[in-house]
């Protein structure tokens, strides 16, 4: 019997299991879950990512989009507001403006 080829999600889950605090791997896994129709898992990974790596700016926008899509508007607004604050601290004006645009759409 040949070993089955691992899915992208399985590979990312292995990376995260080996290095749970690696922001890039956890972000990739959250995105993979979000894009493959598993919002509950994506939610868990985005939440964990931001708890452990509050300065990982791209996660705020994507998590905000996920929450908005799931009709969790007040949570989305909070995540985006936190992201705008974090982006300001790092000087990431582009990310900040994208989050502000989405926040305004949700208002």
**Tokens encoding 8:** 């992208």
Q: 8-106, which class in CATH? A: mainly alpha
The domain limits of the chain are 8-106
Provide CB contacts within 8 A for 80, sequence distance 6+.
60, 61, 64, 99, 100, 102, 103, 106
Q: What is the pLDDT of residue 3?
A: 60
CB of 102 closer than 8 Å to CB of 80: yes
Q: What is the pLDDT of residue 107?
A: 80
pLDDT by residue for the chain (107 residues), tens only, comes to: 456 789 999 999 999 999 999 999 999 999 999 999 999 999 999 999 999 999 999 999 999 999 999 999 999 999 999 999 999 999 999 999 999 999 999 98
- What Cα–Cα distance (Å) separates residue 65 from each residue in 16, 55, 77, 81? 22, 18, 10, 13
**Whole-structure pTM over 0.75, yes or no?**
yes
Q: What is the pLDDT of residue 70?
A: 97
């Amino acid at each position: 019997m040949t070993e089955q080829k691992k899915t992208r999600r399985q590979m990312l889950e292995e990376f995260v299991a080996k290095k749970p605090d690696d922001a890039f791997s956890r972000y990739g896994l959250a995105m993979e879950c979000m894009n493959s129709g598993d919002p509950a898992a994506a939610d868990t990974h985005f939440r964990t990512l931001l708890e452990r790596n509050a300065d990982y700016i791209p996660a705020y926008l994507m998590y905000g989009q996920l929450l908005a899509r799931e009709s969790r508007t007040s949570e989305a607004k909070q995540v985006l507001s936190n992201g705008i604050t974090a982006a300001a601290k790092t000087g990431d004006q582009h990310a900040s403006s994208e989050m502000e645009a989405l926040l305004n759409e949700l208002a």
